[in-house]
A and B are shown apart, each in its own frame.
Chain A
Amino acid sequence: MKHFLTLLSHEVRMLLVNPATYIAAMLFLVFMGFIFTGILDSYSKTPQDTSPAIVFFQFFWFPVVFMVPLLTMKCLADERRAGTLETLFTTPVTTAEVVLGKYGAAYLFYLALWGSTGGLFYILRRFSGDARFIDTGPLIGGYLFIAVSGLLFVAIGVLASALTRNQTVAAILCFVALVLLIGGVNYLSGVGWLERDFLHHLKEAVDYARVLAHRDDFTRGVVDARQLLFYLSGTVLALIFSILGVEAKLLHS
């Protein structure tokens, strides 16, 4: 792992010098700003039971399914297409170091994007002068959920990028995987035919993997070790498959 930091700092640097990074960050912030002002707008019209932070994090899936593919599609697919992956692997680096370096940079960027939305809450606090709007509990829970679930989402993106040399294909793969994971599982847990007795194991599994339920727990302040394990094991699995994917492509290139 002695090249990990070299690779990570290289990847972060590449993100920082790339104009596309700033365009993506700006679009993300504009979009999150719209959601946030929409929430505030509805709060100003009618009183609500829940804190704005909880409602804000309910929309987390929307930026995730669009931003994560855009963020990760480039990382391995583009290098393979350009041939720079070949020069990279003729230095004494391991596949794991390369994949982890790229994953680390993408994850840090993902965190930075979400971290920047903290500014919205700061502005609200600053100009409303009302501490009630800032409900620290759900806020911390929400950001913790973003950080933990982001591990898995970004890993899925890296895996999609490891499987193809075409960025568009990688982005579509990642988008579909995330929609299935977030929306598909949520849909499955609501369908009637899973309620049958002999399917109850499947039903349990589906409930266990419900990302939207995890979000609700986190924002309510419930941090369940099983849920942490779900994201951590999923991340490790996706990264292992990414490493294997890159190596398999080398063997058959």
Chain B
Amino acid sequence: MPESPPAIEVSHLVKTYAGVTAVNDISFTVARGEIIGFLGPNGAGKSTTMRILTGYLPATSGSVRICEVPVATQPDEVKRKIGYMPENNPLPEDMRVSEYLYFRGRLKEIRRRLLGPRIDEVLEVCDLKRVRHRIIGQLSKGFRQRVGIAEAILAEPPVIIMDEPTIGLDPHQILIVRDLIASLRGRMTVLISSHILPEIEMTCDRVLIINQGRVVAQGTPADLRREILGRSTYQLEVAGDVAVLPAALAGIEPSLRVTAQGEPNGDGFRALTLTTERSDELGEPLLRALLAHNLRVRALSRAHPTLEDVFLAATRRSWDAVAAPKPAAKMPNAE
């Protein structure tokens, strides 16, 4: 990755609207061919950042370069390099799918001769062949969403930016869209924002979490888990005298402790949650220690933190300390 210049380079981007800072000093880079997930709570500045990247909105300060072309001075050149699908995917209601793609293709300066075959190709890729002559206003949400994606990839731009492409889709359609995005891997750089976190985790190479206009975390989902949560969690159900637990646990690993303890149910079993800073597997020694202390165990599992936990932890942390130094600063970057 280091030899080719990054597809998207954002440095110290700031955008204020009428005194409100929507984006506050965001910097990140995206390598070519990478699929990156852009996460953040509502109002975090995701859509604003994406709009600035496309050249639709001017930034207040900072610089954005798409494939080495600065957006501020050469917006037209940047627009030729970007396929963009905005939030809510606005489409003209009274056009047919193929007409719309033809119109957009002409605007994106695809030559007339090449446009017909290219439209056939994207209709095929997005599984829209059946509806190519239907009026967009009469299409279901899933089809409309795919029309938006087809439009974004139509001109084969090196960078594709999609604002919540899977919003409002059913699980089957999400699967199709996910495969579609995954099929772009390596050929195009894709930046997608979404609230559906498992979705992002499955498709994206790297995740960028922003909150209140700042980058609060970035890296691969695995990196983020280590970085943000920094611990492993075990859940068990035991019966017996739990007072011996601290001593038993200290024998295995000093950082292992009980963080949550339930009341015993009818069978005398209670639920416990243990956490440790160790990231390797402690299940077996734990089980041995518990049995050695005459505790009966009927369930032991290691909880795998989801991206959701990471997201919640990262955004909560940034709310707790807005002024604190960004944890993302020391993250290994793409370079």
Q: Chain A: residues with CB nearer than 8 A to chain B?
A: 2-3, 6-7, 10, 13-14, 17-18, 82-84, 86-94, 250-253
Known: A90-B55, A92-B80. A83 touches B88 (CB 8 A): yes
Instruction: Please tell me if the beta carbons of A14 and B90 are within 8 angstroms of each other in the complex.
Output: no
B114 contacts the other chain (Cβ, under 8 Å)?
Answer: no
Considering only CB atoms, which chain A residue lies closest to B75 in the complex? A92
**In the complex with contacts A83-B88, A86-B86, A91-B108 CB distance below 8 A:** yes
Q: A250-B56, A251-B58 are in contact. Are A6 and B106 (CB under 8 A)?
A: yes
8 A-B contact pairs sorted by A residue (CB < 8 Å): A6-B106, A6-B107, A10-B103, A18-B94, A83-B88, A90-B54, A92-B80, A252-B18
CA distance A3 to B79 in the complex (A): 14
B window 68-82: CB within 8 A of A: 76-77, 79-80, 82
Q: Is B311 an interface residue (CB 8 A)?
A: no
Secondary structure at chain A's binding surface: helix, strand, loop or mixed? helix
A86's partner among B56, B106, B151 (CB-CB below 8 A) is: B56
A92 to B109, CA, bound (A): 8
Contact of B95 among A7, A14, A83, A86 (CB under 8 A): A14
Q: CB-CB contacts of B45-79 with A at 8 A, as 1s and 0s?
A: 00000010011111000000000000000001101
Q: Are A91 and B104 in contact (CB under 8 A)?
A: yes
Q: Is B84 an interface residue (CB 8 A)?
A: yes
Choose from B56, B108, B151 the contact partner of A89 (Cβ within 8 Å): B56
Q: What's the Cα separation between A82 and B99 when bound, in Å?
A: 19
Complex Cα distance, B232 from A12, in Å, reads: 63
Chain A neighbourhood of B19, CB < 8 A: none
A90-B54, A92-B76 known; A3+B86 contact, CB < 8 A = no
Known contacts being A93-B107, A251-B58, is A87 close to B95, with CB within 8 Å? Answer: no
CA distance A84 to B79 in the complex (A): 16
A6 to B104, CA, bound (A): 9
Asked if residues A87 and B86 are in contact (CB atoms below 8 Å), the reply is yes
In the complex, besides A2-B109, A87-B86, A87-B90, 11 extra interface pairs with C-beta distance below 8 angstroms are: A14-B95, A82-B90, A82-B93, A84-B91, A84-B92, A86-B86, A89-B56, A90-B55, A92-B79, A93-B107, A250-B57
Task: Check A253–B90 contact: CB distance below 8 A.
Answer: no
A250 CB contacts on chain B under 8 angstroms:
56-57
Within 8 Å CB of A86, what residues of B?
A: 51, 56, 86, 90
A90 and B80: CB pair below 8 A? no
Give min CB distance, B25 to chain A, whole Å. 21
Contact of B57 among A13, A83, A253 (CB under 8 A): A253
* B115 vs chain A, min Cβ distance (A): 11
Q: Which residues of B contact A88 (CB under 8 A)?
A: 107
Of residues A7, A91, A94, A251, which shows the largest number of chain B Cβ atoms within 10 Å of its Cβ?
A91
Could you say which of A10, A13, A17, A90 contacts B79, with CB atoms under 8 Å apart? Answer: A90
Q: Are A90 and B91 neighbours in the complex by a CB distance under 8 Å?
A: no
Using CB atoms, name the residue of chain A closest to B51: A86
The list of the 10 closest CB pairs from A to B, nearest first, reads A83-B90, A91-B107, A90-B84, A92-B79, A6-B106, A92-B76, A90-B54, A84-B90, A10-B103, A86-B86
A17 to B79, CA, bound (A): 29
Q: Which residues on the B side are within 8 Å of A92 (C-beta)?
A: 76-77, 79-80, 107-109
User: In the complex, how many angstroms separate the beta carbon of A102 from the nearest chain B beta carbon?
Assistant: 13
Residue from A3, A89, A250, A251 with most neighbouring chain B CB atoms (10 Å): A89
| Residue of A14, A83, A92 ringed by the most chain B CB atoms within 10 A | A92
Which chain B residue shows the least CB distance to A251?
A: B58
A59 CB to closest chain B CB, in angstroms?
Answer: 33
Distance, CA A15 to CA B291, complexed state (A): 80
**Residue of A at shortest CB range from B53?**
A90
Of B58, B79, B95, B99, the residue contacting A91 (CB under 8 A) is B79
Question: Given the known A-B contacts A14-B94, A17-B94, A18-B94, are A87 and B84 also in contact in the complex, defined by CB atoms under 8 Å?
Answer: yes
- A251 to B57 alpha-carbon distance, docked (Å): 7
A251, B56: Cα distance in complex, Å:
9
Measured between beta carbons, the chain B residues less than 8 angstroms from A90 are 54-56, 79, 82, 84, 86
* Cβ-closest chain A residue relative to B161: A90
Q: How far is the CA of A92 from the CA of B93 in the complex (A)?
A: 22
Which residues of chain A come closer than 8 Å to B17, judged between CB atoms? 252
Contacts of A13 in B (CB 8 A): 99
Chain A residue nearest to B55 (CB atoms) is A90
With both beta carbons as reference points, the residue of chain B lying nearest to A2 in the complex is identified as B109
B82 → A minimal CB distance (Å): 7
Rounded to whole angstroms, the CA-CA distance of A218 and B90 in the bound complex is 46
From B55, B99, B103, contact of A6 by CB (8 A): B103
